[in-house]
């Protein structure tokens, strides 16, 4: 509650200063608190406020991020139709901006989630198309561990789904490494769950159980 109050004060200060970067960051702080705590409806309500503000400011780059983040929240609650729609909105907007380092990061994030979406839907040709796009964009990133974690996670899930378990394991380990580098607990948790499934498919049930227990310990500590 105290953090939320401070973020709100910061938002108003930066709004008065017309410092839109920090104004956006302050609002994102409130949204992240709700989302990470599982209050997805509250997070969506706050994010829609921010989206309307960014539209009025014609700030496309930040809008891309908010559409993408909303897609992630929809994925968490199983609203797959909305997830796909918001990924599309983010990508359409991204195609209208001039490319730079942020553009590369956003493209890797968005195409990673597209690849995961189509892999889960058993539409492997569409997933493969997005994997090819990922392979084109990922080398342009100098270093952004969250995006690289997304990249390796998408490839690991795809290769697991088509039975290429050696490649799946390789990318699964890389996903965990990058997730741990950035200290993102949700991503570390998801990486362990992914690795647990890959090891199980390979018949290595000891390693599968180790990763499943790591996943459960993190899940219980967070939620």
Q: What is the pLDDT of residue 217?
A: 95
Neighbours of 19 (CB within 10 A): 13
Which bin fits 59, alpha (ψ -120 to 50), beta or left (φ > 0)?
Answer: beta
Distance CA 138, CA 74 (A): 25
Q: What is the pLDDT of residue 202?
A: 97
Q: What is the pLDDT of residue 98?
A: 67
Please write the tens of the pLDDT for every residue from 19-56: 988 998 999 999 989 998 889 999 999 999 999 988 88
Tell me what percent of the chain is helix, strand and coil, each rounded to the nearest 5: 85, 0, 15
> Is 70 exceeded by the pLDDT of residue 131?
yes
Please write the tens of the pLDDT for every residue from 164-200: 999 999 999 999 999 999 988 889 999 999 999 999 9
Please write the tens of the pLDDT for every residue from 55-101: 888 888 889 999 999 999 999 999 999 999 999 999 999 887 666 77
More confident residue, 135 or 97: 135
Q: What is the pLDDT of residue 126?
A: 97
Confidence of residue 143 (pLDDT cuts 50, 70, 90): confident
Query: Which uninterrupted H or E stretch holds 134?
Result: helix 124-137
> Is 90 exceeded by the pLDDT of residue 221?
no
Distance CA 197, CA 202 (A): 9
**For 208-213, what is the mean pLDDT?**
98
């Amino acid at each position: 509650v105290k953090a939320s109050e401070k973020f709100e004060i910061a938002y108003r200060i930066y709004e008065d200063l017309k410092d839109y970067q920090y104004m956006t960051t302050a609002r994102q702080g409130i949204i992240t608190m709700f989302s990470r705590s599982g209050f997805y409806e509250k997070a969506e309500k706050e994010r829609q406020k921010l989206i309307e503000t960014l539209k009025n400011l014609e700030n496309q780059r930040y809008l891309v991020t908010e559409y993408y983040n909303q897609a992630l929240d929809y994925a968490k609650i199983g609203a797959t139709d909305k997830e796909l729609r918001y990924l599309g909105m983010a990508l359409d907007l991204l195609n209208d901006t001039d490319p730079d380092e942020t553009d590369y990061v956003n493209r890797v994030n968005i195409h990673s989630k597209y690849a995961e979406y189509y892999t889960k839907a058993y539409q492997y040709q569409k997933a493969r198309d997005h994997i090819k796009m990922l392979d084109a964009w990922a080398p342009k990133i100098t270093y952004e561990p969250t995006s690289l974690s997304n990249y390796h996670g998408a490839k690991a899930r795809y290769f697991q789904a088509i039975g290429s378990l050696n490649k799946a394991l390789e990318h699964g380990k890389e996903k965990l490494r990058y997730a741990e580098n950035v200290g993102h607990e949700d991503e570390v948790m998801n990486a362990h769950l992914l690795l647990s499934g890959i090891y199980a498919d390979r018949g290595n049930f000891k390693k599968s159980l180790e990763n499943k227990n790591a996943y459960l310990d993190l899940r219980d500590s967070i939620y």
